[in-house]
């Protein structure tokens, strides 16, 4: 164990059949969003009826059950987490697990639209790092990609978050022929502002209004282009997810490359994803899921819930099965990223 590693919780750990310990939970707190990004949603989405959505108290209970079983990092996502009504109540309450030391980190992934309003509260609740999704700095293109978003609002949000003391990582989906040419200047901007930036390959999740194979831009190509301009130094850092990191010598900043279509990370996968209806996905790239809402609602005692969690982790698959190609027009998985939150 290195100095920075904390011993895992003394409660029974969640270990899957391949010996991987689940220490990271991503929770989608809502399927709704104030944007309609072209790679994520269709313009006319049907959202879930309210009774199906877990209440904030139920979300807290579920997260707490996972924390008691060894989850050390929690990321809230969506849809857009900050459009859920009273979401700050949930975040503040979850902050108690940071205070007690049961949780190492509480983070969110956001589109940034509501950050100007919430940045100070997020910091006060114990959040120190956030991911903000931003695919372009061109106002017109931003409106085209997000359909309903406004770039100045997001940039104001990022500034507010920085002022509040939050460390910001920019997430950028690499889109062929759309923001492809702008990627180097986005990286220069992010690194100049003191933010790391991570590039993400598009994933075939959910019906959208276009052809995904038109959007797909392999990061191997992006990396080759960047290497013709800058010196990229591989970093040994691993997070248990699909990201690989490099340092760009000329900008001094860190660049992440998320290639979920490769299998090179599954063996160290430490994460599971929970939807706002209480469905647990053990792998982002597989349809198998476990319903935790029924055991949660069946009793106020956590015994049924804990048993359901243990059973689900026992089914965590070895790896995923993503393919994007022109001969297969259907998405590999029918659910949207906004359901599981990425």
Q: Which residues bind ligand SF4 (CB under 6 A)?
A: 33, 35-37, 40-41, 78-80, 111, 133, 338
Crossing angle, helix 139-146 and helix 151-164, to 10 degrees?
100
Token output for 298:
């069946």
Q: Is 202 in the site for ligand SAM (CB under 6 A)?
A: yes
Residue span binding ligand SAM (CB under 6 A) among the ranges 49-57, 198-206, 224-232, 271-279: 198-206
Spatial CA neighbour of 258 closest among 227, 230, 217, 225: 217
- The binder of 202, among ligand SF4, ligand SAM, none, by C-beta within 5 to 8 A per type, is ligand SAM
CB closer to ligand SF4 out of 37 and 226: 37
Report the alpha-carbon distance of residue 162 to residue 63 in Å, rounded. 27
Q: Which is nearer to ligand SAM, 110 or 286 (CB)?
A: 110
Residue among 127, 158, 200, 248 that touches ligand SAM (CB under 6 A): 200
Q: Which stretch binds ligand SAM (CB under 6 A): 4-12, 153-161, 236-244, 334-342?
A: 334-342
The C-alpha atoms of residue 43 and residue 38 are separated, in whole angstroms, by: 8
Among 23, 30, 107, 111, binds ligand SAM (CB under 6 A): 111
- Residue 36 binds which one of ligand SAM, ligand SF4, none, with CB within 5 to 8 A depending on kind? ligand SF4
Pick the binder of ligand SAM from 39, 216, 265, 281 (CB under 6 A).
39
Contacts of 128 (CB under 8 A, 6+ apart): 105, 107, 165, 166, 167
Q: Provide the b/e sequence for 186-220 (b: ≥16 CB within 10 Å).
A: bbbbbbeeebbbbbbbbbbbbebeeebeebbbbbe
Lay out the site mask for ligand SAM across 57-76 (x = CB under 6 A, - = otherwise): --------------------
**Shortest separation between residue 337's beta carbon and ligand SF4, angstroms:** 6
Task: Return the number of other C-beta atoms located less than 10 Å from residue 15's C-beta.
Answer: 16
Helices 87-100 & 115-124 angle (0-180, nearest 10): 30
Pick 154 or 269: Cβ nearer ligand SAM: 154
**Is the Cβ–Cβ distance between 164 and 171 less than 8 Å?**
no
Q: Nearer to ligand SAM by C-beta: 260 or 278?
A: 260
Q: How far apart are CA 48 and CA 33, in angstroms?
A: 12
What is the H or E stretch that residue 156 is in? helix 151-164
Q: How far is the CB of 335 from ligand SF4 (least distance, A)?
A: 12
Please state, as a whole number, how many other Cβ atoms lie within 10 Å of the Cβ of residue 87. Answer: 23
Which residue's CB is nearer to ligand SF4, number 64 or number 172? Answer: 172
Q: Which position among 22, 71, 78, 178 is part of the footprint of ligand SAM (CB under 6 A)?
A: 78
Picked from ligand SAM, ligand SF4, none, the partner binding residue 171 (CB below 5 to 8 A depending on kind) is ligand SAM
Nearest approach, Cβ of residue 265 and ligand SAM (Å): 15
* Residue 179 partner contact from ligand SAM, ligand SF4, none using kind-dependent CB cut-offs of 5 to 8 Å: none
Task: Name the residue nearer to ligand SAM (CB basis): 205 or 313.
Answer: 205
Q: Which residue is nearest to ligand SAM, using beta carbons?
A: 342
Q: Which is nearer to ligand SF4, 23 or 338 (CB)?
A: 338
DSSP letters, 187-198, are HHHHHHTT-EEE
Inter-residue contact 97 to 52 (CB < 8 Å): no
CA atoms within 13 A on the CB side of 255: 30
Whether the CB-CB separation of 84 and 54 falls below 8 Å is answered with no
77: exposed, middle or buried (C-beta count within 10 Å: 0-12, 13-18, 19+)? Answer: buried
Contact residues for ligand SAM, defined by CB under 6 A? 33, 39-40, 77-78, 80, 109-111, 133, 171, 173, 200, 202-203, 205, 337-338, 341-342
């Amino acid at each position: 164990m290195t100095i920075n590693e904390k011993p895992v919780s003394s409660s029974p750990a969640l270990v899957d059949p391949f010996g991987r310990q689940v220490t990271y939970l991503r929770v989608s707190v809502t399927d709704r969003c104030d944007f309609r990004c072209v790679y994520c949603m269709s313009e006319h989405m049907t959202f879930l009826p309210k009774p199906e959505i877990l209440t904030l108290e139920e979300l807290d209970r579920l997260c707490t059950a996972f924390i008691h079983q060894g989850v050390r990092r929690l990321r809230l996502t969506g849809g857009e987490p900050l459009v859920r009504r009273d979401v700050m109540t949930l975040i503040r309450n979850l902050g108690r697990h940071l205070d007690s030391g049961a949780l190492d980190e509480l983070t969110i992934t956001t589109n940034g639209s509501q950050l100007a309003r919430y940045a100070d509260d997020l910091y006060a609740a114990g959040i120190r790092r956030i991911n903000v999704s931003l695919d372009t700095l061109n106002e017109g293109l931003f409106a085209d990609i997000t359909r309903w978003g406004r770039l100045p609002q997001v940039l104001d949000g990022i500034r507010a978050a920085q002022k509040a003391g939050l460390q910001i990582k920019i997430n950028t989906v690499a889109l062929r022929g759309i923001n492809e040419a702008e990627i180097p200047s986005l990286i220069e901007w992010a690194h100049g502002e003191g933010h790391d930036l991570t590039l993400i390959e598009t994933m075939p999740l959910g019906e959208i209004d276009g052809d995904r194979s038109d959007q797909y831009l392999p990061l191997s190509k992006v990396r080759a282009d960047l290497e013709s301009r800058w010196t990229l130094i591989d970093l040994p850092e691993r997070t248990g997810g699909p990201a690989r990191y490099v340092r760009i010598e000329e900008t001094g900043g860190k660049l992440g490359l998320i290639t979920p279509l490769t299998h090179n990370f599954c063996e160290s996968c430490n994460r599971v994803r929970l939807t706002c209806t209480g469905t647990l996905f053990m792998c982002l790239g597989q349809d198998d899921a476990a319903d935790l809402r029924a055991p949660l609602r069946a009793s106020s005692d956590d015994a049924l819930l804990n048993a359901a969690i243990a059973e689900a982790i026992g089914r965590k698959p070895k790896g995923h099965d993503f393919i994007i190609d022109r001969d297969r027009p259907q998405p590999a998985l029918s659910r949207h990223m906004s359901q599981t939150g990425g």
